[in-house]
Structure 1
């Protein structure tokens, strides 16, 4: 076991609860560390249920195309914890020595006090960001917003709220209005806020908080829009239209994500010229989200001509977006669709699977070995059947893919395979394939 794994395991044991939303422990630890949150580069703070990572990746690509050095904080990771912390110094994930040093200093400063894993690792990230030069920090909320460990930033340059949907109900509430109010907790006094189009139940909470904080609010579909237009993407707001290339990330929802990223940078005064935006959009990379598998071990397990995708979306909103994308693929190139799915006990499998009804040939459910909160394949198969899908449990990802291969050989059709349902499973699949994020 390496040093990073050992210290992460120790930090995981410091609090009896996996998630406990509060800012008191975070403020205590940051004070003991000399308040690194006050020594950060300008911060773009991003909350929401779906699309946070894609919006953040798009902003990063545009900013880096303009010559800006971007620190980036995202969670969870797919394969290596280091993926959560990207340094603007050279654009790479944090190295093991730098990460270990920060984690060790946080462990010492915490002095054995109770603290959640996300809080102490977020403190380590802020310490690293404060001690390495960059022009901007793109800071993604972990869970919720109001009491999230990242919400210790008093004056970001802009706050961003991506689409809100049902997720983490145990911690955030069981209706969209309450969840949206938690997300809107990142809105700060006088700081512009940019929001995705929201469900009717969610939108009022965001409007109220923006008004309370006197924060200028821009909303997708009202103040700006990004849409497909004759093989290009058109971004339009009150200042006019920008003609841009199509998003490189898969799915129609990526138009809205790209538009949200552009509008956020504009609200923060960070948007470069049209040529630079174009250059940035062409280089967006966000692994594990409708990611095609072009080579590697998993593809070798599949029948010749198979099309394989990996996606970590795990809630009903993600299910809608991913199913819509798969439906578009079916229209372009018909072939039988097989899901290989794994999910956590904290998620809503029926809500995730329902949008795939009528689209999927079969669901193979598999275990997830990198978390203790995964549903059993048998339980997940039962829930997939509740959503009207045919499902069979398998002991492993390899076994599920072998079954798809056997079905495809019998049918004589190359399959389309989607490995889905959890970022943990997406990470395991990428690691198994030998294509972990670089």
Structure 2
């Protein structure tokens, strides 16, 4: 394993954005086929821990076996986490500036509704709206048909990781500025989520931004999250990462991390039979996926392979957990295994590197625009009698 803090010493913006977006997609694809199951079930099904791309849980019966049907989860297929992440990148590529909830209404929702794309799990070209989960369909119902104020449209949706899972691009556009990433993601996510689901979106974006900073480590990423996170989200991250710091590898961490996050997780012990309190607004709770992803980042010391495999073998909503862990490790500069990324790209029929190229270009443009805006503000404030900038 690469020593902490050394894996990203030479990585520039291009490499970090590529690592984060490709890393997120690969984590998503590895986690998809075992989503919803426990570590013990995964161990029994695969005769050991998952160590790479695996096939569907039900084998050739994936078309009809419930509750997975009709999705071909496995064999390197990305899921809706990646579809939504790439959709948000396309919005950035169109707007070429910071985004808000109105950008979701004006650009993201029409893209989901009107532009057919190859959907790996359906093995067909279809509208992304036909694949995304109900929590994402909520965007269309509320914004396209309900004409709700985009800043408030997330209220009433189930509270889950639906918005957080695709917020990596926000952190990348605000690379090395966690506060700006947190603020922007909260605005964007207001169209999709409320409560701790919206909070997780902000904190995940901040984590990605923090991971892009020169010299960043898993510990510095967690510290940035704790400075910004509120309520149950903050407590869950703090507790899980405290436990993670004492684990030697992901195998030893699987049970302790679940025990640490359980008091904050509203879903309950049986992932497919959620508790009565599941996914309801609360100031005391947190989504499970973000704290566990951060915990696996700490356990792995920032190593991409170990962070993602830990998240995958954790089970439960592991495609989203591995998406987040993969984005964070990739942003730190830990390399995504070539054999994984090539297989996922081929199986999903997606160019995993094109969104990174597009977002890198946008990030540079937005930064230059931010500098001009800041300089204009400095001049105006100085003319008002404020102190002159010494630098």
Q: Normalized against structure 1, the TM-score is what? A: 0.26
Q: Normalized against structure 2, the TM-score is what? A: 0.28
Higher relative contact order (CA 8 A, sep 6+): 2
The structure whose Rg is larger is 1
